[in-house]
Structure 1
């Protein structure tokens, strides 16, 4: 009675993992020449793998074909090419193997940190210096929204029939920006509530508030508040406000395009 012969193979995650093992075992650099030198060892492993686990052979066969092609080209004499050729399969395979080695080294480093319980990294790079879109000068957007809610509570929406068509805007953000720019050109700071003195209903209030945010973003004004819950003031930056008659450049989904 003969016992069945079995082959025990080391486990490799894929063909690149096997190639990297063969090259590192012989202490070679990752080059086309190194790949050709380990082709025979790779094919020997593949032959044994076919007997043990045929289901895992497919991925290894693709790389095996590229290795055999590379080795045959290096063994056979090649005609000298006058023009520079594109990257061949050997160079592409060497580049892919180098990238795989880098990812594997990083994965091993992360695994060591995970095993040591080090699950966080200290940020070394300074935070990016982002250009501010608004210049509230210590007043947050939440503060402005809270002040806006107070204005809206003073102007409750009028009762309307449920079958009534929504009214179009009587005033646009662009029109409110023109009005606000004229006020800013006069200089002198004024209270937040004064912006809405001439507004009739909630639509007018919203248009005025959006116009204020746009002027802050354009750098025409800043908002100030001495302490929490203190009055909010609008401070013009007169040198940035466009001259009378100049059309502001901005885009808003709540506004009509500028007149041509």
Structure 2
């Protein structure tokens, strides 16, 4: 007899799952129906359990948070105001908005890398062997990038000229900067980029230089530094 295989999507984390449910149901991210989204979230967890899909503790922590928010909405408005001034539902919506922005930035960086791929020359065999196997402090690197990305918001009603900035140009720029000093702060290097395109490409260039073993990151108490490997 023919058998039918049923599968459910796998998500990187609870925020990824929530964003999927928001998009699937075409929900306004700033006006989430907490009862509806909680039921669908719990339904996914139940299905994951039935199919033995491994879930991290953060999924169940989010489930508890959703149930808490749902219980708060059942209270009379006056009782809600008396218990706390911060709206947990609004906090969830802000977190989802930040997560959505992060996914857009990630998608943009992936697009830039794909566009640059045809113009990149093949790497020498000896360079390919110098791959980076350590850990990168992604949280601090991401914080520096996002802070500068928000500062570079283009003014409204401004006609922007077409801009081109290649990965090779960004790599060369980083090499020139490091040739004059032993190391420099990540925030300083990214702060030298004056547009969002240059900022994104420069971040990719930094990650590429780390990958091939030409630079490394030093996570110190005074900040995150880029250091050239001799």
Q: TM-score, normalised by structure 1?
A: 0.41
The structure that has the greater radius of gyration is: 1
Q: TM-score, normalised by structure 2?
A: 0.45
More helix by share: 2
